Structure 1
Amino acid sequence: MAGLILSALQWLQTKVTTRAHRLLLRVLAAGPVPRHVAFVMDGNRRYARINHKKVAQGHADGYQALRRVLEICLRLNIKCVSVYAFAIENFKRSPEEVQALMELCQLKMLELCEHGDLLQEYGVRLNIVGRTDLLPEDVLAAVQRAQDLTKHNNRSILNVCMPYASTEEITTSVETCVREALESKDLNITTTAIEKNLRTTLAGSPPLDIIIRTSGVKRLSDFFLWQSCEGVQVQFSDAYWPDFGLFDFIPIILDFQRRAWQTSV
């Protein structure tokens, strides 16, 4: 009997907490909200060490955090969310960790294809942004299937950046601009042209408003360097990514709203 009572109390607490969170999100959504928020999901490995878990489990917990944070963003009516899931540089990590990350990516993409409830509920289109040609064939097949599943969704965008490097993105864009300039014999290459050919722009993403890096590290690590160069709020959180949640995000949204209101006065 005591066990049943305890279970009932825990269920009630969860229900009350969920309703309170949703009410809080509705209040925040009534103010100005960013169109595009990007996350450097850092700290999975340190989180794993502190919690005496394997590195692979730290990354798996990080994927659960992604789902949690994505739902918060969607409830706030944020149009576009981008996440730095795997850097090109990460291929230099141990073969065991790279293999674990690739297997986790494939698993989560296949789960999305079978249970794409969150993306379908909010009309989210999934874009994989980066050098997908570097992915193993089985992972690439899962990625393409997941993208195809959501390609007709048009309410929101989720950019999963993997394998990604901002310097590679900018270089590729400049190469495209040079090729187009030579073909048209108009050698005037502008910043507008470069921006138009960035991977995020080609994916239909609005301009970036906020970039957030977790784990207390204060650098961008070759992520969205071009997108972050003008008028973008750069925020750092001490929370490791698997621990990042609503109450880590609220001060960032409130700071964005404060600056938006100051600008409008």
Structure 2
Amino acid sequence: MSWIRETELRLIERLTANILKAGPMPKHVAFIMDGNRRYAQKKHVERKEGHTQGFDKLAETLRWCLNLGIHEVTVYAFSIENFKRSREEVDGLIELARQKFSRLLTEKENLEKHGVCIRVLGDLTLLPEDLQQLIAKAVVSTRAHNKCFLNVCFAYTSRHEIANAVKEMAWGVEQGLIKSSDVSEGLLSQCLYSSNSPNPDLLIRTSGEVRLSDFLLWQTSYSCLVFQSILWPEYSFWNLCDAILQYQLSSQSLQKARDLHKEDQVLQQMEADRTCVTELLHHHGNGKPMDAQSQETMLLNYIASREERVRCFLNALQHKRDTFINDLSSQAVIA
């Protein structure tokens, strides 16, 4: 099945969508697509068929999201923890991924028509080399699209992502691009795999499980979390509408919490900058007191130099990541 199903909403669905869109709508929705294995057991089919049905449901859900004006979707496709499953199931999931990313490369016109940019978030080095190359080819081929975004978390856990972000900042310090004093909560956020995306407004988990399973732990601190009992392959447009309604009921309080957090971050950064300037005065001053205006000028100069260091570091980090993906893409052999 295509990555995006070419189906229109029925009349009652269009009416419902228009009513929902009169209220605050999530711009970015994340899905933990849980229940594929239980669906297979329920239908007395092989697990592989359950996962295939799960992908087909993703294609359908993406179309619903586009019809609802939701232009960014993140899905938990394959956890690093999934490698602990049986060899047969892991091989089946990897083969399904090969098939779907190969299919994606044949759908360039459809993806271009909808402006879909595919991003894959995770540690690709954990995957077979041919799958790495297919994924990289898909990412590069849709990189210029900017109407809507699909982030596929593959070989991913949030703890792994956060640990990797810390390593990236350590690399920046080792390379002399940033100072250890430049490390902050805000900088760590910009070093995550998801740094090119806003945090999700709404996270949905199906199958009745009430846990995040190490998915987007950093990014969903101020997201609306909705847990639904439906198995993922049975997910419906109405389940999505129900989740959006729950988001709308809590959107005002969530936005207030986000705004307060942003204010706290600004204050914390300002306090950290003042501390650094005070230490510089202590270590490099000539013993003479500095007037308030001179101190403020020094603070502003320090902030400007820090921001420039961080900007150069983030550009270097993006270049490193792009080079990795470009090199993999150039090696891809498409059957």
Instruction: Give the TM-score normalised by structure 1.
Output: 0.87
Number of matched residues? 248
Aligned to 1:94: 86
Match of 1:68 among 32, 43, 60: 60
Deviation at 1:37?
0.8
The one-character-per-residue Cα deviations of 1:93-116 (angstroms, maximum 9, x if unpaired) are 111111111111111111111124
Q: Structure 1 pair 99/27, CA: closer, same or farther in 2 (3 Å)?
A: same
Q: Are residues 1:239 and 2:233 paired?
A: no
* Helix, strand or coil at the partner of 1:120: helix
Structure 2 Cα separation of the partners of residues 93 and 122 of structure 1: 36
User: Structure 2: any 5+ residue segments left out of the alignment?
Assistant: 1-6, 257-335
Farther-moved stretch of structure 1 (71-80 vs 212-221): 71-80
* Helix, strand or coil at the partner of 1:163: strand
The one-character-per-residue Cα deviations of 1:69-101 (angstroms, maximum 9, x if unpaired) are 111111111121000000011111111111111
Aligned to 2:305: none
The one-character-per-residue Cα deviations of 1:205-226 (angstroms, maximum 9, x if unpaired) are 1122111111000111111011
Match of 1:105 among 84, 93, 97: 97
Deviation at 1:17?
6.8
Which residue identity does 1:192 align to in structure 2?
G
Structure 1 Cα separation of the partners of residues 230 and 79 of structure 2: 20
Farther-moved stretch of structure 1 (137-146 vs 114-123): 114-123
Q: Structure 1 pair 261/170, CA: closer, same or farther in 2 (3 Å)?
A: closer
Q: Are residues 1:252 and 2:243 paired?
A: yes
Aligned to 1:211: 203
Q: Structure 1 pair 185/151, CA: closer, same or farther in 2 (3 Å)?
A: closer
Structure 2 Cα separation of the partners of residues 162 and 260 of structure 1: 29
The answer to whether the 8 A contact 2:199-2:220 is kept is no
The answer to whether the 8 A contact 2:36-2:54 is kept is yes
- Show the 5 A alignment for 1:1-265: 18-116=10-108, 119-182=111-174, 183=176, 184-201=178-195, 204-229=196-221, 231-260=222-251
* Helix, strand or coil at the partner of 1:254: helix
Structure 2 Cα separation of the partners of residues 32 and 171 of structure 1: 34
Farther-moved stretch of structure 1 (247-256 vs 213-222): 247-256
Structure 2 Cα separation of the partners of residues 146 and 264 of structure 1: 34
Deviation at 1:149?
2.3
* Helix, strand or coil at the partner of 2:211: coil
Structure 1 Cα separation of the partners of residues 218 and 198 of structure 2: 14
Higher relative contact order (CA 8 A, sep 6+): 1
Q: Structure 1 pair 116/50, CA: closer, same or farther in 2 (3 Å)?
A: farther
Q: Structure 1 pair 153/213, CA: closer, same or farther in 2 (3 Å)?
A: same
Q: Structure 1 pair 256/167, CA: closer, same or farther in 2 (3 Å)?
A: same
The one-character-per-residue Cα deviations of 1:206-251 (angstroms, maximum 9, x if unpaired) are 122111111000111111011112x211110101111112111111
Q: Structure 1 pair 257/88, CA: closer, same or farther in 2 (3 Å)?
A: same
The answer to whether the 8 A contact 1:125-1:157 is kept is yes
RMSD between superposed Cα atoms in Å: 2.1
User: Structure 1: any 5+ residue segments left out of the alignment?
Assistant: 1-14
* Helix, strand or coil at the partner of 2:156: coil
Instruction: Give the TM-score normalised by structure 2.
Output: 0.69
